[in-house]
Amino acid sequence: MTQQRQADLILSGSYLLPASCQNAVIKNGAIAITHDQISAVGTTEQILADYSSARHIHTDHGLIMPGLVNTHTHAAMSCFRGLADDLPLMTWLEEHIFPVEAHLTPEMVYQSTLLSLAEMIKSGTTSFCDMYLFSKEVAKATEHSGMRAWIGEVLYDFPSPCYGELENGFSYLADLYAHYKDHSLISITSDPHAVYTCSPELLTRLGTVAQDNDSLYVIHLSENEAELNTCRERYGCTPVEHLERLGLLTPKTLAAHCVMINDKEIEVLSRRGTSVSHCQESNMKLASGTAPVVKMLQAGVKVGIGTDGAASNNDVDMFGEMNTVAKSHKVARMDPTAMNAEETLHASTLGGARTLNAGEQIGSLEVGKKADMIVLNMDQPHLTPLYNIPSHLVYAARGADVIHSVIGGRLVMENRRLLTLDEGRILAQMREMGQEISRYGKD
């Protein structure tokens, strides 16, 4: 008998799904974690023979799977969840969101981000890509939670509630890049808001910043008809064409939404290696449309799934999002085979990781990858019987089924109890903040 190797943590359960295919399922599977990495994946019998570890968490009827990757959100917008719904976009923004955003403070962003972090961990997300104001606070809260994230400060032509004049935005962003250089969990991104709120000069200058820092360039792109029309009027081309002309469609560009794009534009995105974050629930709720995701995938475009912010969803639950995505494209194309369970799960795990240029690090359970994973309790009525795991994950599971979460080798939730965040305190503070925000809305 060979000598046992030492791991920091072993997880085992009735099922282990290393990637998004049913035929990859390991029954009675286990995973050994050393520091922040996966050191072995196999049957529980194998792993326990090969490894000893300080901690072993076994879950009967448990499913171990990669943590979900939320490729587009505004975590701090959780403070606006349900503040105003069912309204035309401009009424919603101008009469409800902008007036309260004018009152935003760094502390509000910090607290509201903590709320979304709690919700994300409790619903199975282990990494996310965030764009918002006061993003130093977003990053600080995220560090506190132990989540993995890509975080950017949104820049646009007009003054920001965070940094004031645009020029200050660039130094704010430079601080972020400097502070999180080589951070193990947090990466900084360059985030122009959109083509209709950023001049070509701003778009280009941020492109250079992204390139200089070897980072992602994240932008809202072709979200709805209004954006398309504005861009056409102003520049005589579509938003995708506009970025293409400016040389800003690269393999490091992550475009959120891409609802209003045609076959030719899909071809351009594919050729440039540009990624798309598909935010179906938000696009439905704001009546923007349904992005042609099936065509994008057929053309080889990298597509991830995002919840968008809680103000337009109204949650950040990737399980709910997967369910909606898989069903929406079937009815949009009148084809029940469109966006099947495995494709949808892939877009929420490894596919999503690839849109963040992180497919080598996360998104599947493989030796040498970062140890980002979740465990679901499959011993429940809505998950019984169990014929096909991807099917259940996409069509029947929900966030509340996640019981444990490990990010970068660190246990951040055990038996639904958050270990890095004080949930009770966060909820109490957000209830108070909600009362304050209600008053702003009535100013």
Radius of gyration of the chain (CA): 21
Instruction: Return the residue of 4, 55, 60, 85 that touches a second copy, per CB under 8 A.
Output: 85
Q: How many residues bind a second copy (CB under 8 A)?
A: 75
Backbone angles phi and psi of 376, in degrees to 5:
-105, 145
Applying CB under 8 A, does 103 fall inside the site for a second copy? no
Sign of the torsion angle spanned by Cα atoms 346, 70, 300, 188: negative
Applying CB under 8 A, does 86 fall inside the site for a second copy? yes
Instruction: Return the residue of 49, 87, 178, 226 that touches a second copy, per CB under 8 A.
Output: 87
User: Taking the complex as a whole, how short is the minimal distance between the CB of residue 192 and a second copy, in angstroms?
Assistant: 25
Q: Which two tokens stand for residue 184?
A: 């193990």
Applying CB under 8 A, does 313 fall inside the site for a second copy? yes
Which of 15/172 has CB closer to a second copy?
Answer: 15
Region near a second copy per CB under 8 A, out of 65-73, 138-146, 148-156, 396-404: 396-404
User: Taking the complex as a whole, how short is the minimal distance between the CB of residue 315 and a second copy, in angstroms?
Assistant: 5
User: Taking the complex as a whole, how short is the minimal distance between the CB of residue 83 and a second copy, in angstroms?
Assistant: 5
Which of 174/332 has CB closer to a second copy?
Answer: 332
Applying CB under 8 A, does 252 fall inside the site for a second copy? no
Applying CB under 8 A, does 118 fall inside the site for a second copy? yes
Q: Is the peptide bond before 70 cis (omega within 30 degrees of 0)?
A: no
Residues 134-163 as x/- pattern, contact with a second copy by CB under 8 A: ------------------------------
Interface positions, 329-388, toward a second copy (CB under 8 A): 330-331, 333-338, 340-341, 379-382, 384-388
Interface positions, 286-305, toward a second copy (CB under 8 A): 286-290
Which of 4/388 has CB closer to a second copy?
Answer: 388
How far apart, in whole angstroms, are the C-alpha atoms of residue 252 and residue 270? 13
Applying CB under 8 A, does 426 fall inside the site for a second copy? yes
Which of 244/321 has CB closer to a second copy?
Answer: 321
Nearest to 198 by CA among 253, 257, 135, 156: 156
Chain centroid offset of residue 99 CA = 27
How far apart, in whole angstroms, are the C-alpha atoms of residue 90 and residue 377? 42
Chain centroid offset of residue 107 CA = 23
User: Taking the complex as a whole, how short is the minimal distance between the CB of residue 115 and a second copy, in angstroms?
Assistant: 6
User: Taking the complex as a whole, how short is the minimal distance between the CB of residue 87 and a second copy, in angstroms?
Assistant: 6
Instruction: Return the residue of 12, 113, 123, 253 that touches a second copy, per CB under 8 A.
Output: 123
How far apart, in whole angstroms, are the C-alpha atoms of residue 150 and residue 173? 13
Region near a second copy per CB under 8 A, out of 101-109, 153-161, 197-205, 398-406: 398-406
Residue 170 contacts residue 191 (beta carbons within 8 Å): no
How far apart, in whole angstroms, are the C-alpha atoms of residue 138 and residue 20? 30
Provide CB contacts within 8 A for 133, sequence distance 6+.
76, 101, 104, 109, 153, 154, 160, 161, 162
Provide CB contacts within 8 A for 211, sequence distance 6+.
252
Residue 375 contacts residue 63 (beta carbons within 8 Å): yes
User: Taking the complex as a whole, how short is the minimal distance between the CB of residue 389 and a second copy, in angstroms?
Assistant: 9
**Single-letter residue type at 140:** K
